[in-house]
């Protein structure tokens, strides 16, 4: 009886240890997804943000619009080339300006969930991780309209010339009438292990 008990105890301990090992491995895998996601989204936002600022300073919103419409997508591609193999980054929005930034179905589900949370006055998490398959994760950084300057091009646009230029370039534009604090979309980092 005693022997059986101790065997049972040993095997229980062993399986607990294995489970713990697997849990630890899972934690580590998740942590590395989060780290990669953080770094990649930061790199994209920094690259776009600093260039936008430069153009805004140099020539106001019309010049900044030229930058956004001509270079934002190319710069995103450039950032992607700098990321490790299996990692890509992009911006998405339910109310997108560039149709290339339309979310995929699994991404739309996350944006809709974030919008629901926001409507329930939940302070949004800094990041969300979605497991899309055995070896692929998507890291989301929610983007909120957090600077007044965003409203110049995404709010109720006051500047008539700017408004016209945006309509000309994006006849299907959905990305206007935002207010401060609105959920604008997300940066998505897809990480294939």
Please give the distance of CA 116 from its chain centroid, rounded to a whole number.
Answer: 17
Phi, psi of 139 (to 5 degrees): -100, 130
The smaller minimum CB distance to ligand HEC, of residues 1 and 160, is found at 160
Binding mask 80-119 for ligand HEC (x = CB under 6 A): -----------x-x--xxx--x------------------
Question: Residues 6 or more apart from 150 whose CB is under 8 A from it?
Answer: 178, 184
The smaller minimum CB distance to ligand HEC, of residues 48 and 191, is found at 48
- For the chain, the distance separating the N- and C-terminal CA atoms, rounded to the nearest angstrom, is 47
Alpha carbon of 186 to those of 11, 19, 89, 120, 152: distances in Å?
46, 34, 11, 19, 19
Q: Does 124 bind ligand HEC (CB under 6 A)?
A: no
Binding mask 157-186 for ligand HEC (x = CB under 6 A): ------------------x--------xx-
CA nearest to 180, candidates 144, 132, 153: 144
In eight-state DSSP terms, residue 92 is E
The smaller minimum CB distance to ligand HEC, of residues 38 and 163, is found at 163
The smaller minimum CB distance to ligand HEC, of residues 136 and 176, is found at 176
Which residues bind to ligand HEC, rule: CB under 6 A? 61, 64-65, 68-69, 72-73, 91, 93, 96-98, 101, 143, 145, 147, 149-150, 152-154, 175, 184-185
């Amino acid at each position: 009886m005693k022997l059986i008990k101790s065997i049972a105890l040993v095997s229980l301990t062993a399986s607990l240890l294995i489970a713990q090992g697997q849990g630890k491995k899972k934690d580590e895998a998740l942590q590395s997804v989060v780290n990669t996601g953080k770094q990649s989204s930061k790199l994209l936002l920094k690259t776009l943000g600093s260039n936008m600022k430069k153009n805004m300073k140099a020539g106001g919103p019309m010049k900044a619009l030229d930058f956004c419409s001509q270079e934002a997508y190319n710069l995103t591609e450039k950032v992607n080339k700098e990321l490790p193999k299996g990692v890509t980054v992009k911006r998405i929005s339910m109310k997108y300006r560039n149709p290339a930034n339309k979310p995929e179905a699994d991404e739309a589900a996350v944006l809709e969930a974030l919008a629901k949370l926001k409507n329930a006055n939940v302070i949004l998490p800094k990041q969300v991780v979605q497991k899309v398959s055995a070896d692929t994760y998507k890291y989301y950084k929610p983007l909120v309209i957090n600077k007044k300057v965003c409203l110049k091009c995404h709010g109720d646009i006051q500047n008539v010339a700017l408004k016209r230029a945006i309509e000309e370039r994006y006849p299907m534009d959905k990305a206007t009438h935002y207010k401060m604090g609105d959920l604008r979309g997300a940066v998505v980092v897809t990480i294939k292990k």
